[in-house]
């Protein structure tokens, strides 16, 4: 079985974009804690109501809540996952190993990119409300404004993709990423790729890492 894959990287570094391609071409299952949390908000569940304000502000939801949600959506017996958006701090990195992965083999990939490049990517992102396809008004615009090329669904902007919240998200990332990288480095499971390249080149680098 391929190792479970953990994508690490700043908001807008391209984790979701690349995960979709890995799912389509290499038979992975995509597990994004951000997507799981947004689903809770959309369904207006108790959990959704609890986390909405935190996510809108660009802060991190508490570790126990996210870990529980992740674990409930994860069956490692028969699936190879891409963990996207988890772990986000040192505690989550340890918990992923001890509570979720246990003995499963895993590899982490860090999407390295200058954070100054990311605000433009994020504020120009649009996502299909039907199939989840990710667009960008600057680099990957849909053929028809507001409409998904793939399924005809409506394109929407994430609530946390405004300039002010993006600043907070990038700041939170800067303050929390080091222990996460140290955790995977110390256990010999960390690869780094240059996420400033075009999506095709990033995919090539990612594929090489998964096959190494």
Contact (CB, 8 A) for 60 and 88:
yes
106 contributes a contact to ligand AP5 by CB under 6 A: no
The DSSP call for residue 116 is G
Question: Is residue 169 annotated as part of the catalytic site, yes or no?
Answer: yes
Q: Quick check: is 50 catalytic? A: no
Binds ligand AP5 (CB under 6 A): choice among 4, 85, 123, 148: 85
Alpha carbons 190 and 6: distance in angstroms, whole number = 9
Q: Which is nearer to ligand AP5, 5 or 202 (CB)?
A: 202
- Contact residue for ligand AP5 among 28, 81, 83, 86 (CB under 6 A): 86
Instruction: Give the residue with the Cβ less far from ligand AP5, 9 or 108.
Output: 9
Side-chain half-sphere exposure of 78, counting CA atoms within 13 A: 0
Is 158 part of the annotated catalytic residue set? yes
113's tokens? 């990119």
Reduced to 3 states, what is the DSSP secondary structure of residue 191? strand
Give the nearer residue to Mg ion in terms of CB position, either 16 or 58.
16
Contact partner at residue 50 from Mg ion, ligand AP5, none, CB < 5 to 8 Å by partner kind: none
Q: In the numeric block, which tokens belong to residue 75? A: 């069956």
The contact pattern for Mg ion, residues 5-34, with x = CB under 5 A and - = no contact, is -----------x------------------
Is 123 among the residues that bind ligand AP5 (CB under 6 A)?
no
Least Å distance between CB 132 and ligand AP5? 10
Closest CB to Mg ion: residue number: 16
**113-133: string of b/e by CB count within 10 Å (b at 16+)?**
beeeebbebbbbbbbbeeebb
* Consecutive H or E run containing 6: strand 4-9
- Give catalytic residue positions: 15, 88, 125, 158, 169
């Amino acid at each position: 079985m391929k190792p479970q894959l953990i994508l690490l990287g700043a908001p807008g570094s391209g984790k979701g974009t690349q995960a979709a391609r890995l799912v389509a071409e290499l038979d992975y299952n995509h597990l994004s804690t951000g997507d799981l949390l947004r689903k809770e908000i959309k369904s207006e569940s108790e959990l959704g109501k609890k986390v909405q304000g935190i996510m809108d502000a660009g802060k991190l939801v508490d570790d126990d809540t996210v870990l529980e949600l992740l674990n409930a959506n994860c069956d490692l017996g028969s699936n190879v996952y891409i963990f996207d958006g988890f772990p986000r701090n040192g505690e989550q990195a340890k918990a992923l190993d001890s509570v979720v992965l246990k003995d499963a083999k895993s590899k982490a990939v860090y999407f390295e990119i200058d954070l100054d490049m990311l605000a433009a990517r994020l504020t120009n992102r649009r996502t299909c409300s039907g199939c989840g396809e990710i667009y960008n008004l600057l680099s990957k615009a849909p053929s028809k404004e507001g409409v998904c090329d793939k399924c005809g669904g409506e394109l929407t902007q994430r609530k946390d993709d405004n300039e002010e919240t993006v600043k907070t998200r990038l700041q939170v990332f800067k303050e929390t990423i080091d222990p996460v990288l140290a955790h995977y480095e110390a256990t010999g499971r960390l690869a780094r790729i240059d996420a400033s390249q075009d999506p095709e080149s990033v995919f090539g680098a990612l594929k090489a890492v998964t096959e190494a």
